[in-house]
Amino acid sequence: MDCNCVSDLLLTPPVPALWTPGEASRMGALFCGSRGIAFPDWAYKPESSPGSRQIQLWHFILELLQKEEYQGVIAWQGDYGEFVIKDPDEVARLWGIRKCKPHMNYDKLSRALRYYYNKRILHKTKGKRFTYKFNFSKVVLVNYPLLDMASSPFLLQNHFNGGSAAPDCSPVTPEAIQSLFPRLPESGRGTSLFDRGATAPGPEGEKLRLDTFPFLSSGTPCYSKPPSLLGPYSRNPPFDYPWGFNPYLPGAFSLNNCPKLPPGSLYPSHFYPNPLQTSLGQLPHPFSSLLPPGEVAGGGERGVAGQTGGTNGTAGGQPRLCLPPYPGALTLGRTDIGNGGSICERERGDANTPG
């Protein structure tokens, strides 16, 4: 096998993506549309799933973003989901290493990133060099289908299935969204989540403030909107979000300093430290078996106090995985994003391989 990184071997088992109506209801999920479940088509693809051993670029980017040591190379900056490639050559190099493409460079990398525009996974922040933005409504769905389906009132009542074949799905309501994000400004400092009919009242009567919710900005068929390209407030202190929590902020979920529960945040407390893990553990049948041994249910708030040893386990035996809100991060603990000793098959027409 080429380019075996530790990370590729530690991936979580893929979560079943298709449910029968019976299964769906047992999971507390809404059986939506003819296909059965509320994810975009590409989310079904094994290559896109967290369990896939073939890492995808957007996943790799998240991986880099999640690690502190790469903050000089690539980092979250600006609006929610927005990141800046500070060292394009280095990011390209790392990507090249991972994919065993010695000739990778930013020019090619950026071409690959552009591929995601159509998929609505990424879009370009115009006017800012090397700055892109994730559409988290896509990313989160791919990585936390269970969380989304079984636990989120917002996603329970709604769907991302393209809108065409789901007459039984209700549209995204402001209330549903607000209920998911308790710390979002209600209408306090003049900022409400919604412009009530003020600007351009759509058929729904109110318009989501996409600048506040950039990760809902595209790919949400119930709210068909083009990606919002310019966020009105470019914030100077990075990570200063209305709800005061960046899920990807190292320290919130970082592997290196385990669990610090954000005061109130994206997910209900019983989802910490790892929403997927916990939700899996609570589930009866096949799903709980997806967890590694010893990680099943019970504590609920495990990881908060339940440290095995040391600060994080880097010292002791098993490194304690504190997971950022996507299971792919399981791969992160001590892996080698840019490891020197990658086992790339000699690539055709390869360049740098010595010997």
Partner DNA sequence: AACGGAATCG
Partner DNA sequence: CGATTCCGTT
C-beta of 149: minimal distance to DNA in Å? Answer: 20
- Cα distances from 311 to residues 191, 305, 317, 322, in angstroms, run 40, 11, 12, 12
The verdict on 334 binding DNA (CB under 7 A) reads: no
Q: What are the structure tokens assigned to 313, written together?
A: 């386990």
What amino acid is encoded at 125 in this protein?
T
Asked if residue 120 binds DNA (CB under 7 A), the reply is no
Residue reference for tokens 């047992």 = 26
Question: Which lies closer to DNA via its Cβ, residue 17 or residue 180?
Answer: 17
- Confirm or reject binding of residue 106 to DNA (CB under 7 A): yes
d(C-alpha 217, C-alpha 12), whole Å? 28
- Is 124 near DNA (CB under 7 A)? yes
Tokens of 318: 């098993």
Candidates 13-21, 123-131, 250-258, 299-307 — which segment interacts with DNA by CB under 7 A?
Answer: 123-131
Applying CB under 7 A, the span of 100-108, 143-151, 174-182, 291-299 interacting with DNA comes to: 100-108
Determine if 101 is a binding residue for DNA (CB under 7 A): yes
Q: What one-character DSSP code corresponds to residue 201?
A: -
- Binding residue (CB under 7 A) for DNA from 3, 57, 296, 297: 57
Each residue 272-311 as x (binds DNA by CB under 7 A) or -, in order, gives ----------------------------------------
Tokens of residue 245, six digits: 């929590």
- For residue 78, the minimal CB distance to DNA (Å) is 13
Nearer residue to DNA within complex by CB, 27 or 109: 109
Q: Which token pair is 290?
A: 């997806």
In whole angstroms, the minimum distance from the beta carbon of 103 to DNA comes to 5
For the bound state, the minimum distance from the C-beta of residue 348 to DNA, rounded and expressed in Å, comes to 6
User: Is residue 103 a contact residue for DNA (CB under 7 A)?
Assistant: yes
* CA distance to 64, 127, 274, per residue, from 85 (Å): 10, 14, 27
Could you give the CA distance from residue 229 to residue 16 in angstroms, rounded to a whole number?
Answer: 34
DSSP conformation class of 347: P
Examine residue 86 and tell whether it contacts DNA (CB under 7 A). no
> According to the binding rule CB under 7 A, does residue 119 interact with DNA?
yes
Please select the residue that binds DNA; options are 4, 20, 25, 47, rule is CB under 7 A.
47
Site for DNA in 212-241 (CB under 7 A): none
Is 346 a residue that touches DNA (CB under 7 A)? no
Angstrom CA distances, 23 to 20, 31, 290, 297, stand at 5, 9, 16, 20
HSE-CB of 291 using CA atoms within 13 angstroms = 21
What value does the CA radius of gyration of the chain take, rounded to a whole number of Å?
20
56 versus 192: smaller Cβ distance to DNA? 56
66/152 with CB nearer DNA:
66
The region of 22-30, 39-47, 259-267, 323-331 touching DNA under the rule CB under 7 A is 39-47
Q: Residue 48 interacts with DNA (CB under 7 A)? A: yes
H-helix or E-strand spanning residue 153: helix 153-156
- Who contacts 342 (Cβ-Cβ below 8 Å, separation ≥6)? 3, 5, 97, 98, 100, 336
* 95/154 with CB nearer DNA: 95
Tokens of 276: 């997927």
**CA–CA separation, 60 vs 11, rounded Å?**
13
Angle at 84 between CA 78 and CA 88, to 5 degrees: 170
Which one of residues 26, 35, 131, 170 is an interface residue with DNA (CB under 7 A)? Answer: 131
**Of positions 14, 36, 51, 88, contacts DNA by CB under 7 A:** 88
Number of neighbours of residue 309 by Cβ within 10 angstroms: 12
Applying CB under 7 A, the span of 6-14, 55-63, 202-210, 325-333 interacting with DNA comes to: 55-63
Q: Interface with DNA by CB under 7 A: which residues?
A: 41-42, 45, 47-48, 56-58, 88, 95, 99, 101, 103-104, 106-112, 114-117, 119, 124, 126, 128-131, 348
